Amino acid sequence: MPSKIEKFEAFNSFANCSFLPFEKINEGHPLKGKWKTNQFKNNNPIVLELGCGRGEYTIGLAKNHPEKNFIGVDIKGNRIWTGAKEAIDTKMNNVAFIRTRIDFIEHCFAENEVDEIWITFPDPQPNKPSTRKRLTNPMFLNRYFKFLKPGGRIHLKTDNTGFYEYTLEVVAEEKHKLIWSTADLYHHNPSGQKELTEIQTYYENLFSAKGEKIKYLCFEKK
């Protein structure tokens, strides 16, 4: 297994990976507005996974939906390395990764460039003063809405009841359209979407093994 340093070096050489540092945010990501033409070379919809970690969900969704393009976003390149290398080794041309902070995400995409967003097992920021750091905080949602298409959907999977309930409150208060939600996905999946339970991240496996119920919700921006 490569070391963390070796993974960082490999990440920087992968054709499906890119990096947007703080000092470059005013310039924006070089592929902003050009992801379909320059990276994927097709006109298929773009789906993001924010805080993708090792990219399990990005890879899983991309395997199920070759008709879509998928981009995983995380700050830790040594984690992204796992998914990026799998995509390269299996010749998955509909997968890419960005190493950057979610705070800078609006500098990576142009208006209406993204069709859908997944947020899978983010840090729940359990302390109340930290709600502004939650990835479903209205401040973060407004960043996403700068590039998410009208009617674009946002999905959340989490084991944390507080985070799940907080997000439901935000959706209601901001008057977004809740598609459906469940506090126990593995026992209540009215959509019948098998990929919601068949694709699992490292943390999902970890929490499920401890008996934690997995929560899910999906909503559209108003």
Q: Which residues are catalytic?
A: 123
| Nearest-angstrom CA–CA distance, 197 and 218 | 15
How many angstroms from the chain centroid is the CA of residue 217?
14
Closest by CA position to 36, among listed 99, 94, 76, 119: 94
* Token pair belonging to 77: 């390149």
Four-residue CA torsion sign, 106, 109, 110, 114: negative
CB neighbour list of residue 150: distance below 8 Å, 6 or more residues apart:
112, 221
CB–CB of 158/136 below 8 Å?
A: no
* Token pair belonging to 144: 């996403």
Beta strands in the chain (DSSP E): 17-19, 46-50, 69-74, 95-99, 114-120, 148-158, 177-182, 215-220
Torsion angle of C-alpha atoms 138, 18, 67, 156, degrees rounded to 10:
-30
Measure Cα distances from 123 to 53, 64, 73, 90, 187 in Å. Answer: 11, 26, 14, 30, 24
